Amino acid sequence: MTTMKKKPEDLRSSRWFGPDDLRSFGHRSRMMQMGYWTEEMAGRPIIGIINTWSDLNPCHAHFRQRVDDVKRGVLQGGGFPVELPALSLSESNVKPTTMLYRNLLAMDAEELIRSHPVDGVVLMGGCDKTTPALLLGATSANLPAIFVPAGPMLRGNWKGRTLGSGSDAWKYWDERRAGNITDEDWQGLEGGIARSYGTCMTMGTASTMTGIVEAVGMCLPGASSIPAADANHIRMASAAGRRVVDMVWEDLKPSDIQTREAFENGIAIAMAMGCSTNAIIHLIAMARRAGADIGLDDFDKASRVVPVIANIRPSGEKYLMEDFFYAGGMRALMRTLGSHFHLDCVTVTGLTVGENIEGAEVHDDDVIRPLDNPIYSEGALAVLKGNIAPEGCVIKPSACEERFLRHTGPALVFDDYPSMKAVIDSDDLDVTADHVLILRNAGPLGGPGMPEWGMLPIPRKLVKQGVRDMVRISDARMSGTSYGACILHVSPESFVGGPLGLVRTGDLITLDIAARSIHLEVDDAELASRKAAWQAPEPRYERGYGWMFSRHIKQAHEGCDFDFLETQFGRPVDEPVI
Ligand code: FES
Ligand code: MG
């Protein structure tokens, strides 16, 4: 039931189009220039649709048409839709890494909302960074907002075998490096692994983040698991358009929805989904923007109590997002989690989480497992601390070989990505399966942009011997579709003087996942003398966006937001007045 808190004359957009003055004459006449009657807009909520479509973003290829479905919904709801294109950030085509630009899209979204005559917004995103970026911007702008997730693409297929985004590319690449598959096979895989528009259909960063957004309450119930190519997706898009108009009248804003408890729901669902490690950085940034102080410890706490129950690759063995949807999708997963959820949080529907998931059913309990039959009894992520990572680092124990849960091995250090790449395939590399591969200068500043290099390739010599997992440590991230004993996000990063920069080849490193510890077996005095000799590298950028990025990016454990975008920074930005 819509509670009308706003009247037409209260609409923000009426400040542009309402007054009988010269400036408003200009605004109205220019809308008429596009063929609109002023009556089409007068007294109606104007809904900005922030569309991250581009010709180089295959995950959002359908957004060019799907925006029309959103518009149809807005019109049906009594609003007036306007499309505002934003930076597209294709994970598959942007170099060096989309993470370098997440905050740029966040600023893009925030300023698009602030500067234009809109009363509410629909956020169209899904490919990895687009989701947190749009949410970050909308959080700071704080107008009524609803997210429309792009939806996962169809399952991959090659010779009748199901292929999962990313995960199977890494897997078969190792087989190719080992000489086990032909060039023809490799080409077949290339054409079969991505068969429709939509986001990666493993539990990568895209599905992780859209699932989190649903758990936080910022999209329609069930929306995040609908495959992009399913007709349900079209109906979801128009329903979101209809709903946001009511949200404007109800004055239901992100700040009413995104409470600390809502973010705790996001963390719980992340664990249950067997989430991408990237979720940590994005969720911390989103929560901090919303004024909720969420940190690594909240993730670790949840990981000890929430089991992984979504049996989706790469944490799960068999299934993909399409199977998850058929098994009941996100609503069923949330309902299964039950007491791990704050059910009274308000969502974009105006109803609580508990009300949204009422009646949700699991249709296949091998895909969405009951709590007492999880695929991994602890959560998807573990936060480790120790002398090599004083502010923490993360690992996805559910996706690594069990023998590495407790391990000591000698370090093999690479100072940067190119020097690693130059030797990793050489047959005389002095390395064993027990070695700990270290990559540094790959963090937020060092990468730059903290690229997804954290799943370092297994040295070819070992791949040929059948080795498929090793301990790897870096200040980089890894793709949500990656797997293995990869310790990531070491904070502070080596580029700014973090202790990862002090490790030398041959030093012993011990990790103990159960104890949540990681330790460089070098005494403090020796580390202090190495630190005294350490020299800061040259800055990466001297102009442009990179220069600004370098000066303002925060470390991984703080969410990698820009300091000046955080909620507590400075006084609020004024609404446009002229
Ligand atoms: Fe877009 Fe994976 S490349 S979601
Ligand atoms: Mg990814």
Q: How many whole angstroms from 261 Cα to the centroid of ligand 2? A: 27
Closest ligand 1 atom to the C-alpha of 57?
1
For residue range 60-119, list pLDDT tens digits in order.
Answer: 999 999 999 999 999 999 999 999 999 999 999 999 999 999 999 999 999 999 999 999
Q: How many whole angstroms from 205 Cα to the centroid of ligand 2? A: 5
Do the domains 382-533 and 42-154+196-357 match in fold?
no
Mean pLDDT of 314-319: 88
| Residue of 195, 199, 207, 275 to mutate, ligand 1, most atoms within 8 A of C-beta | 199
Closest ligand 1 atom to the C-alpha of 91?
3
Superfamily of domain 42-154+196-357: Response regulator (3.40.50.2300)
pLDDT recorded at residue 567? 84
Q: How many whole angstroms from 62 Cα to the centroid of ligand 2? A: 19
Closest ligand 1 atom to the C-alpha of 90?
1
| Residue 314 to residue 571: CA distance in whole angstroms | 43
For residue range 331-369, list pLDDT tens digits in order.
Answer: 999 999 999 999 999 999 999 999 999 999 999 999 999
Do 378 and 343 touch, CB atoms closer than 8 A?
no
Q: How many whole angstroms from 145 Cα to the centroid of ligand 1? A: 23
Grouping H, G, I as helix, E, B as strand and the rest as coil, residue 551 is helix
| Residue 166 to residue 183: CA distance in whole angstroms | 19
Q: Is the dihedral of CA 11, 15, 16, 19 positive or negative?
A: positive
pLDDT recorded at residue 482? 82
Percentage of the chain beyond pLDDT 90 is 91
**113-122: b or e for each residue (b if 16 or more CB lie within 10 Å)?**
bbebbbbbbb
- Residue 313: DSSP 8-state: T
Q: How many whole angstroms from 409 Cα to the centroid of ligand 1? A: 34
| Residue of 63, 91, 101 to mutate, ligand 1, most atoms within 8 A of C-beta | 91
For residue range 199-226, list pLDDT tens digits in order.
Answer: 999 999 999 999 999 999 999 999 999 9
| Residue of 93, 130, 131, 200 to mutate, ligand 1, most atoms within 8 A of C-beta | 200
Say which ligand is closest to the CA of 201. 1
| Residue 451 to residue 443: CA distance in whole angstroms | 7
For residue range 1-45, list pLDDT tens digits in order.
Answer: 568 999 999 999 999 999 999 999 999 999 999 999 989 999 999
Say which ligand is closest to the CA of 276. 2
Looking at this predicted complex, what is its ipTM? 0.93
pLDDT recorded at residue 480? 83
Smallest CA separation from ligand 1 atom 2, residue: 200
Superfamily of domain 382-533: IlvD/EDD C-terminal domain-like (3.50.30.80)
Say which ligand is closest to the CA of 90. 1
Please tell me the total number of residues recorded for the chain in this structure.
578
Give the tokens for residue 308. 């992984």
Report domain extents, the chain.
42-154+196-357, 161-193, 382-533
The residues lining ligand 1, judged by C-beta closer than 6 Å to any ligand atom, are 59, 91-92, 127-128, 165, 199-200, 204, 206
Q: Is the peptide bond before 314 cis (omega within 30 degrees of 0)?
A: yes
Per-residue confidence band for 314, with pLDDT thresholds at 50, 70 and 90: confident
Q: Rounded to a whole number, what is the largest CA-CA distance in the chain? A: 80
| Residue 471 to residue 435: CA distance in whole angstroms | 7
